[in-house]
Amino acid sequence: MKMQEIIAVLGSTDEVLAAELTATGASAAELAEAWAWLNADEALVNEGRRPPSGKVADLIDILEAADQRDAD
């Protein structure tokens, strides 16, 4: 995943977070799915979608940790 793809999904971000996301080997589509779960999980559950697993779950963990770092 390239920095441009990450920015397209998340907006501006720092290089540390981008490196963490890239290290997962996930695709931009998986990042978009992780972002959707973080921002609209109830809607996705109501659509009958299964909870995320694999790379999407890894991306969610990374994004949540980054949010926590930003909050501190």
For 2-48, write each residue's pLDDT tens digit. 999 999 999 999 999 999 999 999 999 999 999 998 888 676 666 77
Residue 51 confidence (pLDDT): 79
Instruction: Provide the domain limits for residue 43.
Output: 3-71
pLDDT of 70 reads: 78
Q: What mean pLDDT do residues 44-54 have?
A: 76
| pTM, 2 dp | 0.84
3-state secondary structure the chain: CCHHHHHHHHCCCCHHHHHHHHHCCCCHHHHHHHHHHHHHHHHHHHCCCCCCCHHHHHHHHHHHHHHHHHHC
Q: Is the pLDDT of residue 49 over 80?
A: no
Number of domains observed in the structure of the chain: 1
